[in-house]
A and B are shown apart, each in its own frame.
Chain A
Amino acid sequence: MPIGSSVLPQGGRIANRRDFLAGGAAFATLAITALRAGPVQARALARPFNELVSGPLLIVYDRRLLGSDAFAADAAASGYSPLGFDSDIAALWMHEIEPRLRVPPLAIAGFTSSATLFCLELLARDYGARALRRIEQHSSATPRLTPLMGAVSGAVTAPLEPVALDAGQTGVSWLIATDRRRRAPLAAPTTDDSRG
């Protein structure tokens, strides 16, 4: 796996949601996929989407999953350089994702197993990042980057909710992003404007 390759879209950092959608992604208004989020969690986590997502977009995909080629091609067609891995995302986390989370903002989109998403959600939350969208992918459909980029009008998904795969499902496409207002043990302090 090439470690250290460029992953930013043309133009580097993106400042707001409209930039985040650059690359031809549809600006569709979609209700978020709610995955067994309890009512308390859903209320507690409700945020407007466009204030959450900014910064560069990193795209990762698990090469072993059916449909991963299509997901990567969709990302490439949108001007990104997706990073592939084989089942274990640890190296990508150490060398690409975590160093970038240290200097937020950052958004990450991916097509992975539910297990990888579970790991990333737990790891990323210490940097004030969280899952904003999860789409369970069935083998009958082609996973794509663009549906992840649609506007989110409702609550974000709750953390730590498991995604169990049923027969016919190939993986999960998802979007994780830092929330500049979110405080977390390893997040940049909100009082330091120079890092926001």
Chain B
Amino acid sequence: MPKPPPGVTDSDFQAALRELENVVGRDWLFSSDEDVLLYRDGYSPLWGEAEERHASAAVAPSSVEQIQAIVKVANQYGLPLYPISTGRNLTYGGSAPTYSGSVVVDLKRMNRILEVSERDKTCLVEPGVSYFDLYRHLRTNKIKLWIDTADPGWGGLMGNALDRGGGYTGIDFRDHFDAHCGMEVVLPSGELIRTGMGANPQAKTWQLFKYGLGPWVDGIFSQSNFGIVTKMGFWLMEEPEAALQVNVTVPKRRDVVPLLDTLHSLMCAHTIPSQTTVASPLMSGGTHPELLRLRASGGASDEEWNRHAAAQGRPFWSATWIYYGARKVIAAQWEHTKDRLAGIAGIEFRETASYTFPLTDQQAEAVPDKARLGIPSLNLFGSRNAVGAPPSEGHIDFSPMIAPHGEELIALSDLTGKIYADMGLTPPFVGGLMFHPRTMICFHAVPTYRNAQDNQRTRRLFESLVRSCADRGWPIYRIHAHFQALGMQMFGFNDGALHRLHETLKDAIDPNGIVSPGRYDIWPQRLRGSRA
């Protein structure tokens, strides 16, 4: 039997479940232990511990009207809801609620692609539409538009955008929240709103112009709990004539300073259109004793590092990006890029893949780096395949954001390497991804386990990383559900004024506190004294 949420009596909970069943039908209310278990966070850093967050039930509506009816029931009984689109973002908490006892509102059944305009290069989708769904729709119908997919690509457009995830193609598309245009939202009151031009029922520009008239409110529905988003428009990338994927390497540690400065400049000038990854193959992974010594030191000199790189015969840094467009334009962009970078001694330039579109199915399947061409894949899970790899059962992402300056990347790698080493752990990946042209996100995966002892160490490590990096000016841009309160503490300017504004909004928009209590540490008044 499902356990009621805190503060809801068993009889009220059972009555609420009966009413929810009346709303969605018997088949779409899930309340057995077996069913509810499927919403567990498979990568939970609290697996099996008392504090692990669990749903009490789940409900899967098929329409906006059903969502409105669910919200009405929740208000009547004080039932906390936790809406998910596909719930597959395992590294940030998956489908498990932020507040234990919440009823998951599983929106996968609302998976209609409502509109695709090849002429305007836009789409309008429901919450359950996955990257797989939209990609397949475009290919099946030979629509010459690309999606920008998260990687792995099994999630949904809306969920990823509302969590402010990123992708790999052009600048107008890979910041997934920024690429949206217009949304429809069921407010906690049950009222339905449309944002931007959608507030004019006759407007023909809902997916073309973001702002409409008056305050632009879309932002408050991302990384938050102010409503249940039921439709979103997105801008899609026109399929280019061609693409060229390139890679450059530089030999010395400090070379990353001019390398990043130049790449940053070229991205802001739109010469380099795609996400750019800069990483150190030399520093990432490996068990060479000298590598471990240098990383553990937290501040080895450039000379020491360069000696190690030379001894290993490996370049220090590697950068990868891709050009899209007409072949003649790509050739000019690449030549200009090489001219700008030519001053770095020892730099090497490579063309790693060249494509002419459209690709056949066989060609698409053979692409090694699919996300850069907007092809959803599950390749990233290959890291779980390694024979002999420690059986970590999952991971959570640590995602500090830095200015795209080489000095910052070096300082971050020194700091994180020492933190790991001090805890007896192998230092992480060194590098970053430029989802956004003016910042770099230096992801690395912190492993989670199915035993409390290892997970306690993981949590200590994660908290140390978050605090230490924030102290240096590198706060995270996104964070796992369990650590959202910690994350928000790092944004505490003026004694937490921003957080107070969030909760002021919560009280005004959701006075009964029914939508995703605690998400990004935004708690309703009634739960502030008992926040997790």
Contact = CB atoms under 8 A, between A and B. Distances in A.
A185 B381 contact: no
Contact of B27 (A41, A91, A118, A189): A189
Given A94-B136, A186-B109, A115 B361 contact: no
A111 to B, nearest CB: 13
A126 B30 CA distance: 12
B138 to A, nearest CB: 11
Contact of B378 (A1, A2, A44, A88): A88
Interface string B365-388: 100001000001111011111111
Interface stretch (A17-25, A70-78, A142-150, A159-167): A159-167
Contacts of A2: 362
Interface string B16-54: 000000000111101011110110101000000000000
Contact of A115 (B27, B365, B382): B382
A33 interface: no
Interface string B111-137: 100000000000000000000100110
B364 interface: yes
B37 A95 contact: no
Interface in A81-121: 85-91, 93-95, 98, 113-116, 118-119
Given A115-B382, A160-B40, A166 B361 contact: no
A44 B38 CA distance: 12
Interface in B79-127: 88, 106, 108-109, 111
A3 interface: yes
B70 to A, nearest CB: 14
A16 interface: no
Interface string B52-73: 0000001010000000000000
Contact of B37 (A41, A162, A169): A41
B355 interface: no
Given A44-B34, A119-B154, A185-B106, A88 B370 contact: yes
Interface in A178-196: 183-187, 189-191
Contacts, number: 116
Contacts of A126: 108
A122 interface: yes
A34 to B, nearest CB: 15
B153 interface: yes
B241 interface: no
Contacts of B108: 126, 185-186
A31 interface: no
B377 A162 contact: no
B27 A191 contact: yes
Contact of B362 (A1, A164, A190): A1
Interface size bracket, A side: 35 or more
B217 interface: no
B193 to A, nearest CB: 26
A125 to B, nearest CB: 6
A68 to B, nearest CB: 14
Interface of B: 25-28, 30, 32-35, 37-38, 40, 42, 58, 60, 88, 106, 108-109, 111, 132, 135-136, 152-154, 361-362, 364-365, 370, 376-379, 381-391, 393-394, 450
12 contacts: A3-B365, A87-B382, A91-B364, A91-B365, A98-B132, A114-B385, A119-B152, A125-B38, A160-B40, A162-B384, A183-B30, A184-B38
Given A41-B37, A91-B364, A119-B381, 16 more contacts: A1-B365, A3-B365, A36-B450, A44-B34, A87-B382, A89-B378, A90-B376, A90-B377, A94-B376, A113-B382, A115-B384, A125-B38, A159-B37, A183-B27, A184-B38, A185-B106
